[in-house]
């Protein structure tokens, strides 16, 4: 009931925004992602808003470049856009790191797919984390197992796996059940 009052009172204020979003959504079917990005920047006013901010304009230009380079013309515009969004969501700034940067990338196991490192640390290998509580509850244990395997196989020389015995509320936790799949003769416990 309260929601209905709020919508009836303020809904018309947001109608232009809703119309703009609907229009952009329908354009995803016909415009290639780089062209759609330019449309979003123009119609939202972001391009003009950040015109004087050199740092933000460089980010926008980098995003434009990525959209041009990664647009797959073999896919329909909407599918190509979804692939670009997935790429951005799992963006790996480590692609731009070199050995001389002397920095340690901290990434998720999803982001690690296809990459290799001399040394890998997998932190939080305790029940409820790896596998994640909700994944177990929703019956996605095999998916979690595959993801753990991805993490394990990223190490070329050394792999360190750590877990915790108590969580932040002081409740006891066991190590991840997935550790039992690793042959004992390959593990050194400390």
Q: What is the rounded distance in angstroms from the CA atom of residue 60 to the CA atom of residue 38?
A: 10
Beta strands in 14-113 (DSSP E): none
pLDDT less than 50: residues of the chain: none
Domains of the chain as residue ranges with CATH: 2-89 (no CATH), 99-186 (3.40.50.300)
Cβ atoms within 10 Å, residue 136: 14
**Any residues with CB less than 8 A from the CB of 123 and at least 6 apart, and which?**
162
74-84 confidence digits (pLDDT tens): 989 999 998 88
Q: 155-161 and 117-122: which strand pairing?
A: parallel
Helix, strand, coil percent content, the chain, rounded in steps of 5: 55, 10, 35
13-55 confidence digits (pLDDT tens): 989 988 999 999 999 999 999 999 999 999 999 889 988 888 8
């Amino acid at each position: 009931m309260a929601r209905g009052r709020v919508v009836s009172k303020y809904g018309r204020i947001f109608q232009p925004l809703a119309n703009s979003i609907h229009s952009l959504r329908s354009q995803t079917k016909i415009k290639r992602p780089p062209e759609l990005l330019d449309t979003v920047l123009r119609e939202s006013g972001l391009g003009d808003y950040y015109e004087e901010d050199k740092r933000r304009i460089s980010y926008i230009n980098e995003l434009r470049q990525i959209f041009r380079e990664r647009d797959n013309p073999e896919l329909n515009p909407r599918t190509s856009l979804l692939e670009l969004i997935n790429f951005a969501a799992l963006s790996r700034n480590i692609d731009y790191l070199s050995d001389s940067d002397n920095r340690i990338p901290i990434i998720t196991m999803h982001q690690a797919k296809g990459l290799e490192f001399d040394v890998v640390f997998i932190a939080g290998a305790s029940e409820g984390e790896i596998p994640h509580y909700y994944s177990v509850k929703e019956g996605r244990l095999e998916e979690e197992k595959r993801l753990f395997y991805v993490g394990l196989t990223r190490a070329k020389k050394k792999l360190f796996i750590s877990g915790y015995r108590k969580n932040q509320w002081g409740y006891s936790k066991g190590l991840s059940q997935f550790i039992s799949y690793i042959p004992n003769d390959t593990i050194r416990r400390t």
